[in-house]
């Protein structure tokens, strides 16, 4: 009998566990924000939560995913997904953003709305708006407005200036770390810029520091030392330099300012000039040796 009693109690316990609803931390929400309230040709912000602006704040945050969609049988498709991670408390604002978009990128902003400062998310602009509106799922708290769509421009003309102002970029100040064995990226990568130039898989706006860079080349100017290679005479070279103010095959300063340089190609060209210079030196040495012999004969 005791065994049966324990078995029944165990079954009741298991049944009770299965029937529980596990709630998340205070502030976990699934929110339908609606659309921009106007339609096409509209620039909008999503107010995430109140931000620190000189007065100490309670805990404000937005950690979750915002989605935006457009598309039906009469409207082309737009997809936007933003993973936000922002918080404002005590005397600071923190934030980072990962976004996915079929057009322009999402951006973190700050703004003043009805006299209060907010952490905000700029919706990627396109002529056609996200007709399915915006959805948020995640953890968010705010001591003022929370997950509110506010439009500030229609067809290039500012609107709602009486309630929204001082829209500024927010520089992300949270570090993301990926601790993995390998990381594979398929596609083009931009660092420090969102301007894509066709034909380049990696674009960096800024300086690069590395211990070693290996450039693979299909062609290398060893042909300079072949007997069939023809180079300019020193007289021809001097004339070219006086006229053009740079070496043959080496781009001018104007060309470099406009188009930059190809590292591998430039190294090959510089090596070619060094090899040709070496040949010039060897030829001059032969001439000097011949002159010495002539002087000895005299």
Same domain, 118 and 51: yes
Of 156, 173, 82, nearest in space to 122 by CA: 82
Same domain, 65 and 147: yes
Whether 69 is in a domain gets the answer yes
- Asked whether 97 and 106 are in contact (CB, 8 A), the reply is yes
- Asked whether 147 and 136 are in contact (CB, 8 A), the reply is yes
Please provide the average confidence, as pLDDT, over all residues in the chain. Answer: 90
Same domain, 54 and 158: yes
- Average the pLDDT over 42-69 and give the result: 98
Predicted local distance difference test score (pLDDT) of residue 64: 97
- Average the pLDDT over 160-182 and give the result: 97
pLDDT higher than 70, residue 23? no
Whether 147 is in a domain gets the answer yes
Whether 60 is in a domain gets the answer yes
Whether 202 is in a domain gets the answer no
Exposed, middle or buried by CB within 10 Å (0-12, 13-18, 19+), for 24? exposed
Please tell me which residue, 286 or 10, carries the higher pLDDT value: 286
Whether 142 is in a domain gets the answer yes
Please tell me which residue, 26 or 213, carries the higher pLDDT value: 213
Boundary-marking domain end, from 127, 150, 169: 169
The sign of the dihedral angle between the CA atoms of 125, 149, 82, 190 is positive
Boundary-marking domain end, from 169, 187, 211: 169
Exposed, middle or buried by CB within 10 Å (0-12, 13-18, 19+), for 285? exposed
Same domain, 163 and 227: no
Same domain, 251 and 159: no
Same domain, 137 and 259: no
Q: Is 26 left (phi over 0), alpha (psi -120 to 50) or beta?
A: beta
- Average the pLDDT over 213-230 and give the result: 91
Predicted local distance difference test score (pLDDT) of residue 297: 78
Same domain, 41 and 143: yes
Boundary-marking domain end, from 169, 184, 201: 169
Same domain, 161 and 239: no
Quick: pLDDT tens for 248-288.
999 999 999 999 999 999 999 999 999 999 999 999 999 99
Same domain, 165 and 31: yes
DSSP, residue by residue, 221-250: GGGGGSTT-----HHHHHHHHHHHSS-TTS
Predicted local distance difference test score (pLDDT) of residue 219: 86
- Asked whether 150 and 92 are in contact (CB, 8 A), the reply is no
Predicted local distance difference test score (pLDDT) of residue 272: 96
Q: How far apart are CA 58 and CA 51, in angstroms?
A: 10
Whether 215 is in a domain gets the answer no
Quick: pLDDT tens for 98-141.
999 988 999 999 999 999 999 999 999 999 999 999 999 999 99
Same domain, 261 and 141: no
Predicted local distance difference test score (pLDDT) of residue 195: 84
Same domain, 231 and 161: no
Predicted local distance difference test score (pLDDT) of residue 73: 93
Whether 199 is in a domain gets the answer no
The total domain count for the chain is 2
pLDDT bin (cut points 50, 70, 90) of residue 9 is very low
- Domain of residue 274 covers 221-297
Same domain, 29 and 158: yes
Predicted local distance difference test score (pLDDT) of residue 25: 62
DSSP, residue by residue, 63-109: EEEEEEEEEETTEEEEEEEEEEEEEEEETEEEEEEEEEESSSPPEEE
């Amino acid at each position: 009998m005791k065994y049966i009693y324990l078995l029944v109690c165990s079954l009741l316990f298991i049944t009770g566990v299965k029937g529980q609803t596990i709630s998340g931390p205070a502030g976990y929400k699934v929110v339908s924000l609606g659309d921009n309230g106007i339609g096409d040709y509209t620039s909008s912000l999503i107010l995430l939560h109140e931000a620190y602006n000189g007065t100490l704040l309670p805990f404000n945050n937005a950690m979750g995913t915002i989605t935006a969609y457009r598309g039906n049988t009469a409207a082309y498709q737009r997809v936007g997904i933003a993973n936000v991670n922002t918080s404002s408390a005590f005397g600071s604002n923190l934030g980072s953003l990962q976004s996915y978009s079929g057009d322009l990128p999402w951006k973190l902003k700050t703004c003043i709305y009805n006299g209060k400062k907010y952490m905000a998310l700029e919706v990627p602009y396109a002529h056609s708006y996200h007709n399915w509106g915006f959805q948020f799922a995640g953890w968010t708290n705010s001591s003022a407005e929370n997950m509110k769509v506010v439009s500030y421009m229609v067809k290039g003309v500012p609107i709602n200036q009486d309630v929204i102002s001082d829209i500024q970029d927010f520089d992300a100040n949270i570090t993301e770390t990926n601790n993995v064995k390998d990381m594979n990226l398929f596609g083009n990568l931009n660092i420090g810029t969102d301007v894509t130039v066709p034909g380049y898989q990696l674009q960096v706006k800024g300086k690069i520091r590395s211990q070693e860079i290996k450039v693979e080349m299909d062609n290398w100017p060893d042909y300079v030392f072949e007997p069939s290679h023809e180079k300019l005479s020193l007289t021809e070279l001097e004339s070219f330099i006086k006229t053009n103010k740079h070496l043959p095959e080496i781009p001018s300063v104007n060309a470099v300012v406009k188009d930059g340089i190809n590292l591998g190609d430039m190294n090959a060209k510089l090596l070619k000039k060094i090899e040709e210079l070496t040949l010039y030196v060897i030829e001059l040495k032969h001439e000097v040796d011949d002159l010495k012999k002539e002087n000895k004969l005299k």
